[in-house]
Structure 1
Amino acid sequence: MAQVSTHPDIPRHGDPAILARLFGWCTLTVLAAFLINNVLVVGFGYPGTQAAFGGNAAAGWVHIAIYAVAIAIAAAIVMRSTTTSLRWDAHRIHCFNIYLIRALFWAVFLIGVADATIAFMRAENLLEPLLGSSNARLFSRPSWVGSWVHMPLIVIAFGIATVTRTLGFFWLAFLIVIAELLIVISRFVFSYEQALMGDLVRYWYAALFLFSSAYTLFDEGHVRVDVLYAGFGRSTRGIVNGIGTILLGMSTAWVILAVGFGGKQSIINAPISSFEISQAGPFGLYTKYQMAAFIGLFAITMLIQFVSYFFEAVADKRDEPGHREIMQPSAH
């Protein structure tokens, strides 16, 4: 997965497109405000925006104020340079998104290896002889492993992603193949299998497909049912892509986010806050809560990429220079 840092063919300035840019940047800043408010609700017990019109109005208005600040930041970004081209904004947003995705890939790689090692030691009763009974009990607690093993590795992953681009889709797919191969060899040659082995494959599979989707959108890699689209000109394609991005792409991402993060007991927040583990218990990986988070991260990275895609679509409609030609087969 290659990140492009400089694109001399992308114009940095052009005719103002204030409304389109304001819509796109508001989407991103409101997304950030939504996630901040979710942390306040789940982690600090805030009541949510609905409380502004109920019994806890002061706390509720804190949430609304965060959204207001987010919109103001978006307006400031747009008005600071009204001639910034749509394609340059799209490029900057895409570069941030692939950094985020690369960091997530590093995180699942590091956590997968570390957690599989810990799970193997738990299954084979190696932790107590090596670390003592008190420390061994800590490694059997999902909340402790999540807080003191997984979280530091996530921070390290984001640091690694700033200096290297070596781990991406192909490497993670290769690791999945290796993990599957080890299962086959251990099961049929040595008659040995642990729950952690299947958990690791599922963990990496989920990350591969959910995190790859945003970059696949950038490369036009998703299947397009092409009935009329192939015959459209660039301007008409820009209109279709722009409308489709809003009505189908962004709306779907927002629905996932609203349902997944809709309160403390939602399908994403509840597993994360409780560090939920699989039915394999101490013999499997302690990463099931992260697989719930993958759903939210999928929606976040897709929404970010949809904003970039929307900017490109509007630029195509306006016939602005810097269009990327992508040769991609279509499904008719």
Structure 2
Amino acid sequence: MQFFVRLIHWSGKIAASALILLVALVVYDASMRYLFQSGSITLQELEWHLFDVIILLSIAYTFSHDAHVRVDIFYERFTPKTKAIVNLLGSLLFVLPFSLLIIYLGIDFVALSFSQMEASADPGGLPYRFIIKSFIPLAFILMMIQTLHVIVASYRTIRGV
């Protein structure tokens, strides 16, 4: 289990590093466009790809730190046991099935992209779009792992273990 905790932790670190890179890239790209009237489709697509990586790798990491969106107006007033019940039910009924669905659909989506060696349709765009698409099932595999961790922790809290 510790391996998966570290894996999700590192996915967050990679996302944070990609965010720093994205900020630097946007500053550079905007400066070049507005100061020197020199734009680049490649840089713009790289910005989109980094944004995708940031969002996808942050999903499980955010869930692991209990920093995801929820209706806190009610949740914050619950007892730890009630919170665990909400987390268990939410994980079993919503997060886990949704993650499994995205993984199931995403694998064929990525396989098709790999088989076509999908690249940007724009002249000067980035090749290897299939690599970015492969982050979709990967992100939800990480999410499923984190969800299983939440289910186990919630069950232990409910049982008083």
TM-score (norm 1): 0.45
Q: Which residue matches 1:94?
A: 5
Give the one of 176, 183, 192 matched to 2:22: 176
State the alpha-carbon separation in 1 of the partners of residues 144 and 21 from structure 2: 27
State the alpha-carbon separation in 2 of the partners of residues 98 and 228 from structure 1: 28
State the alpha-carbon separation in 2 of the partners of residues 209 and 195 from structure 1: 21
Matches for 1:1-332 after TM superposition, within 5 Å: 89=1, 91-99=2-10, 101=11, 168-261=14-107, 266-281=108-123, 283-320=124-161
Provide the secondary structure at the position in 1 that maps to 2:48.
helix
State the alpha-carbon separation in 2 of the partners of residues 253 and 213 from structure 1: 11
Asked if the contact 1:195/1:284 (under 8 Å) is kept, the reply is yes
CA shift digits 1:147-204 (9 cap, x unpaired): xxxxxxxxxxxxxxxxxxxx54433212111111111121122222221110110111
Asked if the contact 2:110/2:133 (under 8 Å) is kept, the reply is yes
What residue identity is the alignment partner of 1:207?
V
Quickly say closer, same or farther: Cα 1:174–1:97, change in 2 above 3 A.
closer
State the alpha-carbon separation in 2 of the partners of residues 174 and 247 from structure 1: 35
What residue identity is the alignment partner of 1:93?
F
State the alpha-carbon separation in 2 of the partners of residues 243 and 297 from structure 1: 24
Identity of aligned residues (%): 24
Asked if the contact 1:97/1:301 (under 8 Å) is kept, the reply is yes
* Runs of 5+ consecutive residues of structure 1 not aligned to the other structure: 1-88, 103-166, 321-332
State the alpha-carbon separation in 2 of the partners of residues 274 and 222 from structure 1: 35
TM-score (norm 2): 0.89
Asked if the contact 2:15/2:55 (under 8 Å) is kept, the reply is no
Deviation at 1:310, TM superposition (A): 1.2
Deviation at 1:250, TM superposition (A): 0.5
Provide the secondary structure at the position in 1 that maps to 2:119.
coil
Structure number with the bigger relative contact order (C-alpha 8 A, sep ≥ 6) is 2
* Runs of 5+ consecutive residues of structure 2 not aligned to the other structure: none
Higher helix share: 2
Provide the secondary structure at the position in 2 that maps to 1:244.
helix
Provide the secondary structure at the position in 2 that maps to 1:268.
helix
CA shift digits 1:235-289 (9 cap, x unpaired): 222122112101101100011112222xxxx3222112222011124x1211311
What residue identity is the alignment partner of 2:111?
N
Asked if the contact 1:237/1:316 (under 8 Å) is kept, the reply is no
RMSD after superposition: 1.9
State the alpha-carbon separation in 1 of the partners of residues 78 and 35 from structure 2: 57
